[in-house]
Amino acid sequence: MEGTVNSFLTSKGYGFLRGDDGRDYFVHHRDIVGANPVIEGQRVAFEESATPKGYRARRVRPVEVTGATGYVLPEEVLATRHATLKGWEVLVESRWIISGASRDSPDAAMALLKERARCLGATAVLDVEYSKMRGAESGSGSGTHYFTIHHFDGRPVVAGKPSVHGQHRLDALVGLDARAAQLKKALEAKTQRSRDMATLVVTVILVMAGSACLFMPAIPGWVGLLLLAFVSLFSIALWPAMVTDHDRWLALDE
């Protein structure tokens, strides 16, 4: 009997093939003749066998020699709370943790997590954890408005599987950690520019308030001190509101 390999995970040591008789056969690495594993899309010859759990292929061997094999990647970024991904192999590990948060919905937070993984060149996120927290903001004349912030974090990786139809080479997929480190550095610089701008604005406000107290003799001294104290407290509260932490979502897993 001959057939075509549908899938085979080297890390797990098993997979499935579709026989020319239209049946699906389970393949275990112990049933493969030779030292090399079979790959997706490969034509093989085998001996069919029936077991209580279904059909199984025995003495599996290639019927055609394949050239250099590439990898197929998921069409969309995948996410799982597990350390492995069903149906895929982890080709490139990562030492970084990414996160995505949204006050709109868990789906929006997950979409942001996947988008950030994609910008790093990752195709999957493993060990995903969900959490939520309560946020608050001043309402427009109706008191304080409370809302829920949905948060996901996980470890980006490059997942794929070898295939005779694969268009991606492994040496072109590496470098995930290097890309993350480079992006982290750029984001930290952007955060610092945000802090510098906030500091400049606060400084200008304080200088203007101090000048007003010094050069407006009509203002009593104690009133000027109160005004300066109020402006100082306002500036201290304003500073964090003006700063954006662009790099918070990307962190090295120590």
Helix (H, G, I), strand (E, B) or coil at 217: coil
Query: Do 109 and 31 share a structural domain?
Result: no
Q: How far apart are the first and last CA of the chain?
A: 52
DSSP string, 47-98: EEEEETTEEEEEEEEESS---S-EEE--SS-EE-SSSS-TT-EEEE--SEEE
Domain total in the chain: 3
| Full domain range(s) for residue 150 | 71-174
Q: What is the pLDDT of residue 222?
A: 53
Q: What is the pLDDT of residue 47?
A: 94
In a domain, 199, yes or no: yes
Domain boundary residue, one of 174, 205, 237:
174
Q: What is the pLDDT of residues 101-113, one digit of tens each?
A: 999 999 999 999 9
In a domain, 152, yes or no: yes
In a domain, 180, yes or no: no
Q: What is the pLDDT of residue 103?
A: 92
More confident call, 76 vs 135: 76
Q: What is the mean pLDDT of residues 235-245?
A: 78
Query: Do 100 and 164 share a structural domain?
Result: yes
CATH of the domain at 38: 2.40.50.140
Q: What is the pLDDT of residues 127-139, one digit of tens each?
A: 999 999 887 666 5
Q: What is the pLDDT of residues 202-226, one digit of tens each?
A: 887 777 766 666 655 555 555 556 6
- 128 touches 156 (CB < 8 A): no
Of all residues in the chain, what percent carry a pLDDT higher than 70? 85
Confirm whether pTM is higher than 0.85. Answer: no
In a domain, 18, yes or no: yes
Domain boundary residue, one of 62, 91, 107:
62
Domain boundary residue, one of 174, 204, 224:
174
Q: What is the pLDDT of residue 36?
A: 79
